[in-house]
Amino acid sequence: MSSLRIRYQTIEFGDNDIHVQTLRDRQQFSDVGSADAEKLGVSPASWSLFGVIWDSSQILAQLMFEYDITGKRILEVGCGIALSSLMLNQRNADITASDYNPEAGEFLETNVKLNDGDVIPFVRADWADDNAELGKFDLIIGSDILYEPDHAELLSGFIDRHASLDCDVILVDPGRGNHPRFSKKMVALGYSHSQTKPTIVSEQSKIFRGQILRYHRNT
């Protein structure tokens, strides 16, 4: 197998620059050392998905660039390269990042150093597990994480276990078709729901046609 190839990018948000090390492309695969990803069932076909910048993640990071974070404990779910977590870290937010793939934590540590930021706590989270030590959050965010049919039930349950009594949830979904079921699950759990259609131009000069999904619970 050839050496893992990476690239470095700078993504601008207003006057803020976020520097990131990512995989060069989706053809990269590596699970060296302890082969943790393989042991967790992360197949070579999906291994690289965490390690590139997706349009959805850029939209979420832009939202977090302007979002009122005062007094909020924030969790990024399925963080991948964790662009939003890096953005929020620059704003001195109380941010925790999580992903199923353990390699996401390695890239996060590198990217925090690239941006001279404070350490961002990383939790390798399985949505099916209790993860009681993770605690509760006032804002839970994620981008392009509803890409399997069973994710609606798993993710809604995970979010509900880690949502504070007064919690906002913001997900950016590119339109994979699983979000209606997820929204029904969230409403059944007591969350209000709204969605909007952003229209922005991506790096590939394509119009993003997905949804910004918002949920809120206040009990």
What is the model's pTM?
0.87
In a domain, 207, yes or no: yes
Q: What is the dihedral of CA 65, 218, 169, 94, to 10 degrees?
A: 50
In a domain, 52, yes or no: yes
Is the pLDDT assigned to residue 10 strictly greater than 80? yes
3-state secondary structure of 207: strand
Taking CA atoms, 163 is separated from 43, 92, 142, 155, 159, in Å, by: 30, 21, 14, 12, 6
Tally of domains in the chain = 1
Structure tokens at 7: 């690239």
Residue 204: band (very low, low, confident or very high) from pLDDT cuts 50, 70, 90: very low
Is residue 114 within 8 A of residue 20, CB to CB? The reply is yes
Q: Which residue range(s) make up the domain with 70?
A: 6-28+43-218
Quote the DSSP letter at residue 49.
G
In a domain, 34, yes or no: no
Question: Within the chain, how many helices (H) and strands (E) appear?
Answer: 7, 9
Q: What is the CATH number of the domain that holds 209?
A: 3.40.50.150
Model confidence pLDDT, tens digit, residues 48-80 = 567 788 889 999 999 999 999 999 999 999 999
Model confidence pLDDT, tens digit, residues 149-176 = 888 999 999 999 999 999 999 999 998 8
Quote the DSSP letter at residue 70.
T
Quote the DSSP letter at residue 203.
T
In a domain, 176, yes or no: yes
In a domain, 36, yes or no: no
Residue 205: band (very low, low, confident or very high) from pLDDT cuts 50, 70, 90: very low
3-state secondary structure of 198: coil
In a domain, 23, yes or no: yes
In a domain, 1, yes or no: no
Structure tokens at 90: 């620059």
- For residue 206, is it left (φ>0), alpha (ψ between -120 and 50) or beta? beta
In a domain, 33, yes or no: no
Structure tokens at 111: 């990217």
The residue among 52, 46, 38 whose CA lies nearest residue 8 is 52
